[in-house]
Amino acid sequence: MHETAISLPVVLPEAVLAAGTLALVLYGALRGERGSNLVNEIAVGLLGLVLILIVAKNRPMGVTFYGAFADDAFTRFMGAITLVGSLVTLLLSVEFMRQERIGGFEFPVLILISTLGMLMLISADDFIALYLGFELMSLALYVIAAYRRHDVRATEAGLKYFVLGALSSGMMLYGISLIYGYSGSVSFSAVAEAVHDHASIGVLFGLVFILVGLAFKISVVPFHMWTPDVYEGAPTPVTTFFATAPKVAAMAVLVRVMVTAFPGISNDWRQILTFVSIASMVLGSFAAIAQRSFKRLMAYSSIGHMGYALVGLAAGTVEGAQSVIIYMAIYVVMTLGTFAAILSMRRQGNAVETMADLAGLGRTNPTMAFFLATMMFSLAGVPPLAGFFAKFYVFAAAIKAGLYGLSVIGVLASAVGAYYYLRIVKLMYFDEPAPAFDRPAPVARIVLAVSALMILLFVFLPSPITNAAMAAAQSLF
């Protein structure tokens, strides 16, 4: 049901985040560098408050802003995962920014602005709202990619991301204009009625251009070119942010657009998603083998994982949507834990990022080695860890939808990918020890430990995630 009035309880989390961000911008501008510590603390508190508001059961659901904004179980689940990514990134960034002397109140504010864009993107129920959320998220991301202004690698990363991002954004806007021209509406439900069973060539072109914009943000082949350079060049907390929250938001809106705006032409978009998924899984598996930098390895790993998530979406069913939601939740936990370990890799105050630096970690820091090994086994999809179940759900949904070839290729790519994850475990436990790392920051230790425990315990208590994911998926169909 479309509400014509603006219902504040429905948009309360976004309204609180927007008001809080504006207040922090004003405070930071008045206080300058002196206020950066307090801005960090308030930003963390604000994200925590918004997370509580999103998951609050007594807040009404509905569609508001003249049909542009939908608050349903899907919005709440994906919004909560996005906020966890942003919140943990901010917590991990505090110590790193202090050690690298690249602080400033602007960083937490940019994270908040980007997160607001993500929440708008996840809630979008028409193409205008989708584009506004997309741009709000992206503009802040362009700035934080080049946040370390005096570092050549960081500025190159920011410029690459900006140029390619602007191109993909323009293509997506062109696609939206084509869809509007052929369907006469920007509302997802109205577009679904207009193209219920047969897509004209114009609609197909529009659909492809929209997919280009969203595929760029989740960094799948062939729109992945920016990922390794940005992951390696940007400061590690920025890379942590890129690898988690924006990917969840873009994947969420991709699921919503495909399922609610183009359900009648699923055979057409299934072919596109199948190709993109296979290409991403294969490239993510093979390209990572030659990497020596841990952050570049995680870049190719994320390309591969987005390919696996798309396997579930290609199924086009409720189970498929549920499997994507579960996959993204587990992916965020694994990625946050791994980046907490990367942030803990410091010697004599300097950050080190090559995998050779992990040699013999099992002897110099057995606890960190165990937790990081848990992350690597889970990313490889080794049972009974959570990463295995993430892949199990997407492949099961694809097989149920008759996509046998896609599932077989996915399993084979996963076997290849296991090689480079397990190579890190071999380095940590069987190679001669490199010099020990400095004592990690308490926040990094806690994030790594909590992530590893969640990965280990998922097998005993999967139902809260799987049930919530099913409720979220059903709210779309």
Is the pLDDT at 106 greater than 80? The verdict is yes
Give the pairing of strands 346-347 and 62-64. unpaired
In a domain, 386, yes or no: yes
In a domain, 159, yes or no: yes
Model confidence at 3, in pLDDT bands (50, 70, 90)? very low
Q: What is the pLDDT of residue 6?
A: 66
Is residue 43 within 8 Å of 112, Cβ to Cβ? yes
In a domain, 1, yes or no: no
Q: What is the pLDDT of residue 1?
A: 41
In a domain, 164, yes or no: yes
Is the pLDDT at 5 greater than 70? The verdict is no
Give the pairing of strands 69-71 and 346-347. unpaired
What is the rounded average pLDDT of the residues 52-56? 88
For residue range 22-53, list pLDDT tens digits in order. Answer: 999 998 888 877 777 888 889 999 999 999 99
Q: What is the pLDDT of residue 35?
A: 74
Is the pLDDT at 63 greater than 50? The verdict is yes
For residue range 69-79, list pLDDT tens digits in order. Answer: 888 899 999 99
Is the pLDDT at 57 greater than 60? The verdict is yes
How many independent structural domains does the chain possess?
Answer: 1
In a domain, 2, yes or no: no
Spatial distance between the Cα atoms of 394 and 401, rounded to a whole number of angstroms: 11
In a domain, 105, yes or no: yes
Mean pLDDT, the chain, integer:
88
Is the pLDDT at 196 greater than 80? The verdict is no
In a domain, 301, yes or no: yes
In a domain, 3, yes or no: no
Residue 275 structural domain: 8-474
Instruction: Using alpha carbons, select from 128, 142, 309 the residue that is nearest to residue 226.
Output: 142
Q: Rounded to the nearest 5°, which phi and psi values hold at 4?
A: -90, -30
